[in-house]
Structures are given as structure tokens and as C-alpha cells.
Amino acid sequence: MRWVKVEIPVRYVECDPMGVVHHSNYFSWFEVGRVQLATEAGLNLEKASRKLFMPVININCNYKSSAKFGETVIVETALVKPKKAYLHFEYRVYRKYGRKLLVKGSSEHAFTRTDGTLILKLPDDIKQKIDIFLGGVS
């Protein structure tokens, strides 16, 4: 798998009164990772979102340790080989200094048209960019 990395400074607003990141923020960080991966794959999400949606149909997060205010985390995101019009992402979140694993997670996404109808096959332009990004393995 090809992992894409993005650094995120932990903001005060993401923390509880003890300075520990609230669990819900990891899902936002997963999205930051997905957008970074899409950018590196050459997918224009702004343009695509006018025709297609990519709703989350399943998401999970396995917490190992807590991130804290003032730290920087590294979110690593990988796209698993696509099946039809369905994408599966894997995530790892590390503390930047010391590289301690904080969280592992995944999310699954379907493609739909803006009217809500399910798409059964990846559009050719998206499939081609994903194939190139994954090194021809999809």
C-alpha cells in the first residue's frame, strides 16, 4: 500500500479540559488524510463533488493512546485496491515526536450521484488516476 502523510498540530479546541484530544476529532483527521491522498492522486474533489458524492458507509477507530494539546500528529492514509465504485481507506495516527502509534482506523465509501443514486462502477477518469496512484495494482 502507498501511504500518504500529513502533519496536524493539535489545537486547543480539539481537547477536553485535561488537554487530551476528544475521540471524535480523529475522524476529522481521517478526512484530512483522505483529502491529502486524493490531492496526491490527482483527483479534484471540488470538481468531482459537483457530480458525485462519496459518503462514508462504515468507519472505525481503534484507540491506542491519546494525543494532547500542543503536540503534532502525523496522519498516514492508504487506499486499498478499489472494488467497483467502493473505496476503502486505512489510517494510522502517530505522535510526531517519538513516533508513538495513537490510533488505527479505516473507512469505507460508496460513490453516488448527487441525486442519491448508487454508482456501480468507478468513473473511468477516477479509476485511471487511482490506478496510476497505486502503481497499476487496481
First to last CA, the chain: 11
Q: What is the pTM of this model?
A: 0.91
What is the predicted pLDDT for the residue at 3?
97
Q: Are 53 and 102 in contact (CB under 8 A)?
A: no
Which residues, in sequence order, are bridge partners of residue 77?
4, 91
> pLDDT digit string (tens) for 29-85?
999 999 999 999 998 776 666 788 889 999 999 999 999 999 999 999 999 989 888
Does 115 or 27 have the greater pLDDT score? 27
Whether the per-residue pLDDT at 119 is higher than 60: the answer is yes
Lookup: cell for 76: 498516514
Alpha-carbon separation of residue 130 from 45, 77, 79, 98 (angstroms): 13, 14, 9, 32
Alpha-carbon separation of residue 29 from 63, 83, 115, 128, 136 (angstroms): 14, 24, 28, 26, 27
**In CATH, what is the architecture of 3-133?**
Roll (3.10)
Residue ranges covered by each domain of the chain: 3-133
